[in-house]
Structure 1
Amino acid sequence: MILHTDITGQGTPLLLIHGLFGSGENLGMIARLLADRFRVINVDLRNHGRSGHSDDVSYSLMAADLVETMDALGLENAAVLGHSMGGKAAMQLALSYPTRVSKLVLADISPVVSQARHLGILDALNSIDLTTLHDRKDADRQLQQGISDAGTRAFLLKSLQKTEHGFQWRFNLAALTAQYQQVLAAPQATSAYDGPVLFIKGGNSDYLLAEHQPLIQQLFPKARAKIIEGTGHWLHAEKPAAFAKITADFLLS
Structure 2
Amino acid sequence: MTDAATVDLHYLEMESEAAPDATPLVVIHGLMGSADNWRSHLKVWQRSRRVIAVDLRNHGRSPHSDDMRYATMAQDVIALLDSLSITQAHVLGHSMGGKVAISLARLAPQRVVTLTIGDIAPVVYQHGHDDIFAALKRVREGRPKNRREADELLAEHVDSRSTRLFLATNLARTEESELGLRIGLDEIQRGYDDIIDLPAGEAPYEGPTLVLRGAQSHYVTDDMLPALREMMPQARVVTLKNAGHWLHAEQPEAFQQAVEAFLEHHER
On whether the aligned pair clears a TM of 0.5, the verdict is: yes
Deviation of 1:130 (Å) = 4.2
In the TM superposition, 1:77-156 aligns within 5 A as: 77-130=88-141, 132-156=143-167
Stretch deviating more after TM superposition (162-171 or 197-206): 162-171
In the TM superposition, 1:164-175 aligns within 5 A as: 164-165=175-176, 166-175=178-187
Matches of 1:197 and 1:183 in 2, distance apart? 22
The alignment partner of 1:153 has SS state of helix
Match of 2:30 in 1: 19
RMSD of aligned residue pairs (Cα, Å): 1.3
In the TM superposition, 1:31-110 aligns within 5 A as: 31-110=42-121
The alignment partner of 1:168 has SS state of strand
Matches of 2:254 and 2:15 in 1, distance apart? 20
- Structure 2, gaps ≥5 residues long: 1-6, 17-21
User: How does the TM-score come out when normalised to structure 2?
Assistant: 0.91
**Residue 214, structure 1, aligned to residue 235, structure 2:** no
Deviation of 1:252 (Å) = 1.0
Matches of 1:251 and 1:196 in 2, distance apart? 10
**Residue 226, structure 1, aligned to residue 238, structure 2:** yes
Matches of 2:96 and 2:145 in 1, distance apart? 31
Deviations 1:27-52 (A, max 9, x none): 22211111101111011111000111
Match of 1:9 in 2: 15
The alignment partner of 2:198 has SS state of coil
Of residues 190, 204, 217, the one that matches 1:192 is 204
The alignment partner of 1:127 has SS state of helix
The alignment partner of 2:127 has SS state of coil
Q: Contact 1:12–1:37 at 8 Å: present in 2 too?
A: no
Q: Contact 1:7–1:39 at 8 Å: present in 2 too?
A: yes
Stretch deviating more after TM superposition (161-170 or 6-15): 161-170
Q: Alignment identity in percent?
A: 39
CA gap 1:162/1:224 in 2 versus in 1, 3 angstroms: same
Q: Contact 1:130–1:168 at 8 Å: present in 2 too?
A: no
Matches of 1:227 and 1:141 in 2, distance apart? 35
Q: Contact 2:34–2:60 at 8 Å: present in 1 too?
A: yes
Deviations 1:133-186 (A, max 9, x none): 222221111111111111111111111001225432121001111111111111
- Structure 1, gaps ≥5 residues long: none
Deviation of 1:131 (Å) = 6.5
The alignment partner of 1:38 has SS state of coil
The alignment partner of 2:24 has SS state of strand
Match of 2:4 in 1: none
